[in-house]
Amino acid sequence: MSKIVKYVIADLLRSRAIMVYALVLLVLSISVFSIEDNADKGVVSLLNIILFVVPLVSIIFSTVYLYNSAEFIELLVSQPLKRRTIWMSIFTGLAGAVALAFLIGVGVPILLYAFTPSGIILLLSGMMLSLIFVSIAMWAAVRIRDKAKGIGLSILLWLYFALLFDALVLFILFQFSDYPIENGMVAVAMLNPIDISRILILLQVDISAMMGYTGAIFRNFFGTGWGMTITVLVLMAWTAVPVWFSLRFFKQKDL
C-alpha cells in the first residue's frame, strides 16, 4: 500500500495543476493578509475565497485524475492486490497531495500573518474540505464510467454544496419564518461541510453577534466541547462515507 501511495503522491506533485493551485492560494493569501491590517479581517476575507476555490479544485482535479489514471488502476487490479488496498491507497495519495498543496498555499501565510485561533480553524477546515471533496470525487468517478458525465456530476455536486444548498436553506427559513426553527438550523447545517466550516470560522471571529438569535444558538452548540466533538465527527463522516460507498462499488465494478 505504501508503494502505491508514494507513487500517486510523487506523480501528483509533479503535476503543474497542483503547483499552480498551491501558488495561486499562496499569492491570494499573502495579498489578503497584506491588505488587511487585522488578522481576523484577513481570515474572513480569505474564508470567502477558500470556501469556493478549495472544494472546486479538490473535486474537479480528483475526478479528472481518476479518469486519466484508469489504465494504471486496471494494471493494479490485474496484480495480486486486494481492491480495497488499491482504492484506499489511491485515496490516501490523492487526498495527501491536494491537502499538502493547500497547506503550502494557505498554511505558510497563516503562520506568518494570522497564527490565531481563527486562522488555525481556517487552516484545519480547509484541510478537511480538501479531504471531503476528494472523497466525493472518488464516489462520482467510480459510479460513472463516462468521463464527461463524471466531471459534470462533480461540478453539479460542487454547485449544490457551494450555492444551491444555501439557497434552499434561505427558502425554508423564509417559508417557515413564523415558526421557531432556529434549533433545526443546526442540524440542517450539518448536511453541508462547507456551511459547517463557515460557521466554525465566523464564530471564532465573533461575527456571530451580528447574526442575532440564530448566531447565539450556533455559538451555544458549536462553542461547547460536545458541540465541537460532534462537529469533528460529522466532518470525519463526510470524508469516510463517500469513500466507503466508492470502495463498495469499486470492489464489484467490472473494469
Contacts of 42 (CB under 8 A, 6+ apart): 32, 33, 35, 36, 113, 114
Residue 179 pLDDT > 60: yes
Instruction: Return the higher-pLDDT residue of 177 and 71.
Output: 71
79 burial class (0-12, 13-18, 19+ CB within 10 angstroms)?
A: exposed
The predicted structure's pLDDT at residue 209: 45
> What cell does 49 get?
475565497
Q: Give the span between the Cα atoms of 66 and 124, in whole angstroms.
A: 25
What residues does each domain of the chain span?
Answer: 2-252
Three cell numbers written together for 117:
485561533
List the end-to-end C-alpha distance of the chain, in Å, as a whole number. 20
User: What is the torsional sign of CA 194, 105, 128, 63?
Assistant: positive
Closest CA to 57 of 37, 28, 80: 28
Task: List pLDDT tens digits, range 180-199.
Answer: 666 677 777 788 899 888 88
pTM: 0.89
Higher pLDDT, 102 or 44: 102
pLDDT confidence of residue 210: 43
How many other CB atoms sit within 10 Å of the CB of residue 157? 19
Q: pLDDT tens across 79-89, in order?
A: 888 889 889 99
pLDDT greater at residue 204 or residue 138: 138
DSSP letter at 207? G
User: Residues 6 or more apart from 220 whose CB is under 8 A from it?
Assistant: 227
Burial (CB < 10 A; 0-12, 13-18, 19+), residue 34, is exposed
Looking at residues 68-94, what average pLDDT do you find? 88
State how far the Cα of 42 lies from the Cα of 196, in Å rounded to an integer.
19
What's the Cα-to-Cα distance from 82 to each of 55, 69, 233, rounded to whole Å?
30, 18, 28
Residue 61 has pLDDT above 80, yes or no: yes
Residue 46 or residue 39, greater confidence: 46
Interval 112-170: pLDDT, tens:
888 888 888 889 999 999 999 999 999 999 988 889 999 999 999 999 998 888 888 77
Rg from Cα positions in the chain = 19
Q: For the chain, what is the mean pLDDT?
A: 84
**Torsional sign, CA 58, 31, 162, 204:** positive
